[in-house]
Amino acid sequence: MELVRATEAAAIRAQPFIGRGDKLAADGAAVDAMRKFLGTVNFDGVVVIGEGEKDKAPMLFNGEHVGNGNGPAADIAVDPIDGTSLTAAGRQNALSMIAVADRGSMLDASSVFYMDKIVTGAEGIGVIDIRQPIDVNIAALAKAKDKPIGEIVVAVLDRPRHVGLIEEIHAAGAKTRLMLDGDVAGGINAAMYGSRIDMCVGTGGSPEGVATACAIKALGGFIQGRLHPKTDEERQKGLDAGLIFDHVYEASDLVRSDNTYFVATGVTDGELVSGVRRLGPIIRTESIVLRGRSGTIRRVAADHVAELWA
């Protein structure tokens, strides 16, 4: 619940900027609020995945210590707003999120920005392999879920780099759900029981892949990733950081501990959670809390006194 307070605060502070076209202002307000509340949490956290290197971000930078210094030592991944462009445009699926795991257990993939990822529910375990063509994976998942291929829905970021992938999905007979941003929510929805999304696939942020893995541990789902460097320089930076290329990272490689937490509060409405909204004298938020060790999924609806956030 302490972590939920931090994501709630970030979402609430971002709310006035929804649809205002200024993603930097929205992100700045969310970062300030999250940093303030994290300082009260009873743990010794180190930001493994944050807003960037110290010289590029004044707060929540990679390597920063957060929390009150007491309690367990932990790695932490933060994104005060996953979907700043969505927030600025007033579009769906923007989240404020935090992932936490035991100290030293999160893969630090910050030196290589992109990762090829594939995420499904538990049905994909032992069935899906990122090295296989997408049509083979779709057919295998359809068989495992006992669904016609024509009913399989695959979430993909709507990017020029995915034009060929989208065509292959359609050629395989499956449907697509194109996401403007926010593949963390897409991955979680793919692993969530009862979701309308069966698979999330494509090239997205490496840090987001690690954060998603924390949630997948709680959901009992499936995730694989392969680092996707854009330049030789980036590849060398990854090698210098100890990362492995041409290698499939499983969930246990992305996060080695099962003692994981994933917390997200909606900034704008989405399939995972509803967005923050002002309702007269209150501000209403909806959050989700996933715990890896127990497999528990909690939804937290809260009403906040608006004047206290003025």
Q: Which residues line the annotated binding site?
A: 27, 51, 79, 82-84, 114, 159-161, 181-183, 205, 208
Cα(198)–Cα(92) distance, integer angstroms: 19
Residues in binding site for substrate: 82-84, 114, 159-161, 181-183, 205
Q: CB–CB of 6/98 below 8 Å? A: yes
- d(Cα 11, Cα 13) in Å, to the nearest integer? 6
Task: Please enumerate, by residue number, every residue annotated as part of a binding site for Mn(2+).
Answer: 27, 51, 79, 82, 208
Task: Tell the burial category of 231 from Cβ atoms under 10 Å away from its Cβ (0-12, 13-18, 19+).
Answer: exposed
Asked whether the beta carbons of 59 and 6 are under 8 A apart, the reply is no
Q: At CA 97, angle to CA 84 and CA 209, rounded to 5?
A: 85
d(CA 262, CA 167): 33
Distance, in Å, from the CA atom of 144 to the CA atom of 232, rounded to the nearest integer, reads: 39
